[in-house]
């Protein structure tokens, strides 16, 4: 027995020794990384091993907007700013030329952070769908198939559907105004954008405006999970986080199960020769192989894209609308100008047609300015496959480049008085921002739904302004909630009244 204990102790000692050597090796590797790349300007690390990760964790814990830290760093360390994420070198690039060079080129693929969105706490989430695919060929094949469902011609044909959903929101707002009551505009916008995406993308009538949605909650949860999964590398290992992770996985399961159900219903309709719309769902089904040669990976890919569009198509537009309404409550002059434009273009018409939207030029400006100060999806990252020089600084092969439109959108060097909400920055005659404003990203991986989103946002804003006055309720803050996407923290609760028109 004594011999057994001696052997056990030696084995434990030996293992501890190996662990110590591995740790020492890792420390030496970290030292090497620091020595090799500290020529790139950047803030002091919080920690030798973790680098700047503690800053990210503090922001998460305190509910701060991490993008404000990036703004501070780029002001202090310049347009190419190093961030250490354990052994990974991330470089925050704010120079327009650097942004142009990298984002506009297909040479720089999305980096491995997208794997953590593809797979959430070990569960397939957005997988290899359009947003998260890293391989260029795999992405390009999907994008080509999806493009027709977002062409202006196709969207124009959907105007009635958009209008019908927006009218449901107006009915709800009429109830609120009749009762002289208050409503969370964020919540209402979430419901209407969910109804729109379900109907227009997937041909399903949800009518979420009436009921608080389980889907909105599921989307919120998965996005929150995504932020923790990316920004806190140890998050999933703490026992105290397990209940939250379980909830996130359930939300993920709900979204994918809904996808399975809706895809199967559509496939059955197609097999029965029914007349199905050429909508996003039909295109998603086309991204997979032919029915008889469909692999389980093809099936999963369809679900990846289903969830991608469900999320990308809903939360983003809802948050933009809510921020826009919030800003208008404190800019009566801008609101007045908008009312005049809407009255001129739409008047008292109930149904808005596609061509009307093109005439709402000031409204476009207001929506663009909203996304400058509140870009819903502020950042994107790219892998650097070869040594590359940006702004005279060598970015090493293997580094990750990080672009942030929240940061550039609030930099004095690009936008005078950056914190002032001023839609005239986007006046048709004003110079276009040069690679410093990209709320829909830029280049080949830019948002596919940009036109869809702005058509929807304009339609809803036009109807809202045409019919209602809204005032922010006391106690509402203008704070931003950084939940992966940005949203107004206090929900934009407003009192709603019928607009009095001068006759
Ligand atoms: C205000 C609304 C929206 C904003 C601000 C927005 C923003 C963005 C951004 C910044 C990206 C790039 C993300 C990255 O690089 O990680 C993106 C990609 C994408 N968005 Fe949007 N989006 C909006 C609405 C929509 C809508 C309505 C849809 C679909 C109906 C959509 C579908 C997509 C898709 C499929 C991609 C991936 C494109 C690709 O890689 O080929 N988005 N969006």
- List pLDDT tens digits, range 67-91: 999 999 999 999 999 999 999 999 9
Q: How far is the CA of 3 from the centre of ligand 1 (A)?
A: 65
Residue with CA at minimum distance from ligand 1 atom 3: 316
Q: How far is the CA of 335 from the centre of ligand 1 (A)?
A: 28
Query: What is d(CA 461, CA 463) in angstroms, rounded to the nearest whole number?
Result: 5
pLDDT in tens, 213-252: 788 889 889 999 998 988 888 899 999 999 999 999 999 9
- What number is the average pLDDT over the span 26-37? 92
Domain boundaries, the chain: 1-37, 38-498
Rg (CA), the chain: 25
At 209, the pLDDT band (50, 70, 90 cuts) reads low
**Packing angle of the helix pair 315-329, 185-196 (nearest 10 deg):** 150
Query: What is d(CA 431, CA 428) in angstroms, rounded to the nearest whole number?
Result: 8
Q: Which atom of ligand 1 is nearest to the CA of 405?
A: 10
Residue 475, pLDDT score? 92
For residue 250, which of 222, 213, 230, 211 has the smallest C-alpha distance?
222
pLDDT at 289 over 70: no
- CATH superfamily of the 38-498 domain: Cytochrome P450 (1.10.630.10)
Q: Specify the pairing of strand 182-184 against strand 393-395.
A: unpaired
pLDDT in tens, 446-465: 999 999 999 999 999 999 99
Q: How far is the CA of 452 from the centre of ligand 1 (A)?
A: 10
Residue 271, pLDDT score? 87
- What number is the average pLDDT over the span 183-211? 86
pLDDT at 210 over 60: no
Least confident of 35-49, 92-106, 261-275, 327-341: 261-275
> Percentage of the chain surpassing pLDDT 70?
97
Which of 145-154, 284-293, 335-344 is most confident?
Answer: 335-344
Contact yes or no for 234/200 (Cβ under 8 A): no
At 502, the pLDDT band (50, 70, 90 cuts) reads low
Residue 421, pLDDT score? 98
Q: How far is the CA of 45 from the centre of ligand 1 (A)?
A: 32
pLDDT at 1 over 90: no
Q: Is the torsion defined by CA of 50, 116, 440, 135 positive or negative?
A: positive
pLDDT in tens, 383-442: 999 999 999 999 999 999 999 999 999 999 999 999 999 999 999 999 999 999 999 999
Q: Specify the pairing of strand 480-483 against strand 119-120.
A: unpaired
Cα 396 to Cα 36, 52, 113, 280, 319, distances in angstroms: 10, 19, 18, 39, 36
pLDDT at 137 over 60: yes
Q: How far is the CA of 319 from the centre of ligand 1 (A)?
A: 13
Q: How many helices (H) and strands (E) does the chain have?
A: 20, 13
Q: Which atom of ligand 1 is nearest to the CA of 110?
A: 15
pLDDT at 299 over 80: yes
When the pLDDT of each residue in the chain is averaged and rounded to a whole number, the result is 93
Q: Specify the pairing of strand 119-120 against strand 123-124.
A: antiparallel
Strands of the sheet containing 493-498, edge to edge, are 182-184, 493-498, 468-472
Contact yes or no for 214/220 (Cβ under 8 A): no
One-character DSSP codes across 279-328: SHHHHHHHHS--GGG--HHHHHHHHHHHHHHHHHTTHHHHHHHHHHHHHH
Residue with CA at minimum distance from ligand 1 atom 36: 447
Residue 134, pLDDT score? 95
At 296, the pLDDT band (50, 70, 90 cuts) reads confident
Q: Is the torsion defined by CA of 346, 349, 350, 353 positive or negative?
A: negative
Least confident of 159-163, 287-291, 294-298: 287-291
Q: How far is the CA of 478 from the centre of ligand 1 (A)?
A: 24
**Residues whose beta carbon lies within 6 Å of some atom of ligand 1:** 130-131, 143, 308-309, 312-313, 316-317, 320, 376-377, 380, 439-441, 445, 447-449, 452-453
Residue 46, pLDDT score? 96
Residue 2, pLDDT score? 75
- What number is the average pLDDT over the span 44-54? 95
Does 447 show up as a binding residue in the annotation?
yes
Residue 318, pLDDT score? 96
For residue 350, which of 168, 110, 88 has the smallest C-alpha distance?
168
Residue 503, pLDDT score? 55
Q: Which atom of ligand 1 is nearest to the CA of 305?
A: 35
Ligand 1 test: best mutation among 311, 437, 447, 453, most atoms within 8 Å of CB? 447
pLDDT at 104 over 60: yes
One-character DSSP codes across 111-137: -GGGHHHHEETTEESSTTSTTT--SHH
Q: How far is the CA of 28 from the centre of ligand 1 (A)?
A: 41
pLDDT at 208 over 70: no
At 56, the pLDDT band (50, 70, 90 cuts) reads very high
Residue with CA at minimum distance from ligand 1 atom 10: 440
Ligand 1 test: best mutation among 449, 459, 487, most atoms within 8 Å of CB? 449
Query: What is d(CA 460, CA 366) in angstroms, rounded to the nearest whole number?
Result: 13
């Amino acid at each position: 027995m004594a011999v057994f204990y001696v052997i056990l102790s030696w084995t434990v000692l030996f293992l501890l020794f190996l662990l110590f050597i591995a740790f020492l090796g890792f420390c030496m590797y970290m030292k090497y990384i620091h020595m090799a790349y500290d020529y790139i300007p950047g803030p002091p690390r919080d920690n030798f091993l973790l680098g700047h990760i503690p800053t990210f964790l503090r922001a998460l814990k305190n509910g701060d907007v991490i993008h404000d830290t990036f703004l501070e760093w780029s002001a202090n360390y310049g347009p190419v700013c190093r961030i250490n994420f354990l052994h990974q070198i991330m470089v925050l690039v704010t120079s327009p030329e650097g942004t142009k060079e990298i984002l506009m080129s297909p040479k720089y693929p999305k980096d491995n952070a997208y794997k953590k969105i593809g797979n959430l706490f070990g569960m397939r989430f957005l997988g290899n769908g359009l947003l998260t695919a890293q391989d260029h060929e795999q992405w390009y094949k999907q994008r080509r198939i999806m493009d027709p469902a977002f062409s202006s011609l196709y969207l124009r044909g959907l105007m009635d559907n958009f209008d019908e959903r927006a009218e449901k929101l107006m009915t709800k707002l009429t109830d609120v105004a009749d009762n002289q009551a208050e409503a969370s505009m964020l919540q209402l916008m979430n419901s209407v954008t969910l109804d729109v995406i379900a109907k227009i993308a997937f041909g399903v009538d949800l009518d979420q405006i009436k009921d608080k949605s389980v889907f909105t909650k599921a989307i919120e949860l998965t996005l929150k999970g995504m932020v923790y999964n990316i920004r806190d590398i140890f998050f999933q290992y703490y026992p105290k986080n397990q209940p939250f992770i379980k909830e996130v996985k359930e939300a993920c399961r709900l979204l994918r199960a809904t996808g399975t159900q809706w895809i199967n219903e559509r496939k059955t309709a197609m097999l029965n020769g029914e007349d199905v719309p050429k909508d996003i769902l039909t295109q998603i089904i086309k991204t997979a192989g032919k029915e008889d040669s469909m692999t389980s990976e093809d099936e999963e890919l369809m679900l990846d894209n289903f969830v991608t569009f469900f999320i990308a198509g809903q939360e983003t537009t809802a948050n933009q609308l809510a921020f826009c309404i919030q800003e208008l409550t404190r800019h009566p002059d801008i609101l007045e100008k908008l009312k005049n434009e809407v009255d001129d273009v739409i008047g008292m018409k109930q149904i808005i047609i596609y061509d009307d939207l093109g005439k709402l030029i000031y409204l476009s400006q207001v929506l663009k300015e909203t996304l400058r100060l509140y870009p819903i999806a502020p950042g994107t990252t790219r892998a650097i496959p070869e040594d590359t020089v940006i702004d005279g600084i060598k970015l090493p092969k293997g580094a990750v480049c990080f672009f942030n439109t929240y940061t550039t959108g609030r930099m004095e060097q690009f936008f005078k008085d950056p914190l002032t909400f001023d839609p005239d920055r986007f006046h048709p005659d004003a110079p276009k921002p040069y690679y410093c404003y990209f709320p829909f990203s830029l280049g080949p991986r830019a948002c596919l739904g940009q036109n869809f989103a702005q058509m929807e946002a304009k339609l809803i804003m036009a109807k809202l302004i045409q019919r209602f006055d809204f005032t922010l309720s006391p106690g509402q803050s203008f704070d931003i909630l950084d939940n992966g996407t940005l949203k107004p923290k206090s929900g934009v609760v407003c009192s709603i009244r019928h607009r009095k028109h001068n006759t």
